Amino acid sequence: MSEVENESTSAPETAAAFMEALNATDSNGTDALNATAKFVATPEGTALAYGSLVLMALVPIFFGALRSVACSKSKNTSDMPETITSRDAARFPIIASCTLFGLYLFFKVFSQAYINLLLSVYFFVLGVLALSHTISPLLSRVIPSSVPNKQYQLLFTQGTGENKEEIINYEFDTNNLVCLLASGVVGVWYILKKHWIANNLFGLAFALNGVELLHLNNVSTGCILLGGLFVYDIFWVFGTNVMVTVAKSFEAPIKLVFPQDLLEKGLDASNFAMLGLGDIVIPGIFIALLLRFDVSLKKNSRTYFCSSFLAYIFGLGLTIFVMHTFKHAQPALLYLVPACVGFPVVVALFKGELTEMFRYEESIGDEGLAKDDSSEPLKKDQ
C-alpha cells in the first residue's frame, strides 16, 4: 500500500497518502530539498519521528485487534463487522489501482483546490464519526454510572402499514452525543488549520476502526489480499509516477505524520516523516484474524497474534532502515507482507497446526460461520 517516507514542506498542508488502498509516497527528497532551504534532521529528531511513527502504528493494530474479538461476537447491527471474502480480496488490488489512476486523471484535468475541498468535507464527516466511535467506549468507562445516560433512537421508515420498510434505525445515547461533539471540535480544528496533531487523531481513528470492523473470513483470504497488495504497492511505487503525483496532490487525514524538526520548532514543525494508513490497516486486519484464531483454539495463549505482531514491528523497522539507508521512499508492504505472513506460518509448522490454521473459518456473532464465495457452508463445532 503505502510507504514510510520523509516529507519536507513549508506549508501546513502536507502531501497525503491515498485511498482505501491508503497509499502515501514521495520522491527521494531531491525535489523537496530544491524547493525549500535544505533541512538536515538531527539524529535525535529522526529517531524521535521514526520511533513515534512505529508506536502510533502499533496502537491501532493492538487495540483494534482486541476490539475485533468482541466485535465478531456482537449482536448489535451497528457494530457488526464487514467480512472480506476471497473474491473481495482478489478484486481489491484491481479496484484500488483503478481508483488510484482515476484520481490521477482527476488531478490532471480538474482544479486541485476544488477536489481537495470536496475531499476535506468528505473526510471531515468520516473523521468525526470514526473518532466518535473510537472514544465512545473509553468515555463510557470514565463517566460514573450515577450520571444519567439517556437512550435515543433515530428511525427513518418508508411506506405505511405492511409495506413499511426501515431505512435507518440507529440507537445512541448521551455519551455518544458527547463523543460526537468532541470529535466535531477536532474536525473543525483539522479543517481550519490542517494541524498534524488533528491529522493524526483522525488517522489513528480510521486505522483502529479499520482493524476492528474489517474482518478476513479465513487465513487464505488474508494471504490473497496481502499478496495482491504486495504486487500493487511495488508496481505503483517503482513502476510509475502515478502514486507520487496523487500523494503530492491528495490532502486527507489518511496518513500518520510526525515532525523531524519538533525539537527545534516545537508544534509548528513542518518537516515530516510519514506513514500511510494502508501500511497499518492491511497487515492489521490479518493480525487481528490471527488473534481471533488464537481465541478459537481455547488454549489460553496468543501465540499467533504475538508472532505476527512482532513480525510487523520487524517489517516496519526494516522498511525504515532501508529507506533511511538509501534515502528513497519504500513500499512498506514489500517488507511487511513476507514478515506478517511468514512468521506465523513458521510458528504453525513448528507447532504442527498449519492445516488447522488454514482451515479456520471466521464465525460472526450467532449467524454461524462466515462463508467464502467458493466454499460450501460450514457447521459450527459442537
Q: How far apart are CA 289 and CA 44, in angstroms?
A: 36
Q: What is the rounded (10 degree) CA torsion for 10, 11, 12, 13?
A: -120
Please state the length of the chain: 382
Q: How far apart are CA 306 and CA 312, in angstroms?
A: 10
- The three cell numbers of residue 70 are 468482541
Task: Give which of 343, 342, 344, 335 is closest to 1, Cα–Cα.
Answer: 335
Are 59 and 312 in contact, with CB atoms under 8 Å apart? no
Half-sphere exposure of 1 (CA within 13 A, CB side): 27
Residue 346 belongs to some domain of the structure: yes
Residue 100 belongs to some domain of the structure: yes
Whole-angstrom CA distances from 184 to 59, 136, 255, 358, 376 are 22, 14, 19, 43, 45
Residue 49 belongs to some domain of the structure: yes
Q: Nearest 5°: CA angle at 281, between 276 and 283?
A: 105
Is 31 part of the annotated catalytic residue set? no
- The three cell numbers of residue 188 are 473543525
Residue 172 belongs to some domain of the structure: no
Q: Which of 2-16, 94-108, 175-189 has the lowest mean pLDDT?
A: 2-16
In the prediction, which pLDDT does 144 show?
80
The 10s digit of each residue's pLDDT in 128-167 is 999 999 999 888 888 887 778 888 888 888 888 778 888 8
Burial letters 345-381, b for 16+ CB under 10 A, else e: bebbeeeebbeebeebbbbbeeeebbbbeeeeeeeee
Residue 115 belongs to some domain of the structure: no
Exactly one of 26, 88, 233, 294 is catalytic; name it: 233
Q: Which of 155-169, 191-205, 341-355 has the lowest mean pLDDT?
A: 155-169
Residue range(s) defining the domain that contains residue 256 = 41-110+196-359
Exactly one of 88, 261, 279, 294 is catalytic; name it: 279
Residue 207 belongs to some domain of the structure: yes
Global pTM reads: 0.82
Are 67 and 136 in contact, with CB atoms under 8 Å apart? no
Residue 263 belongs to some domain of the structure: yes
Q: How far apart are CA 32 and CA 38, in angstroms?
A: 8
In the prediction, which pLDDT does 73 show?
76
Are 2 and 22 in contact, with CB atoms under 8 Å apart? yes
Is 233 part of the annotated catalytic residue set? yes
- Rounded to an integer, the average pLDDT of 304-310 is 96
Residue 382 belongs to some domain of the structure: no
Instruction: State the chain's mean pLDDT as an integer.
Output: 83
The 10s digit of each residue's pLDDT in 265-299 is 888 888 888 898 999 999 999 999 999 999 999 88
Q: In the chain, how many domains are there? A: 1
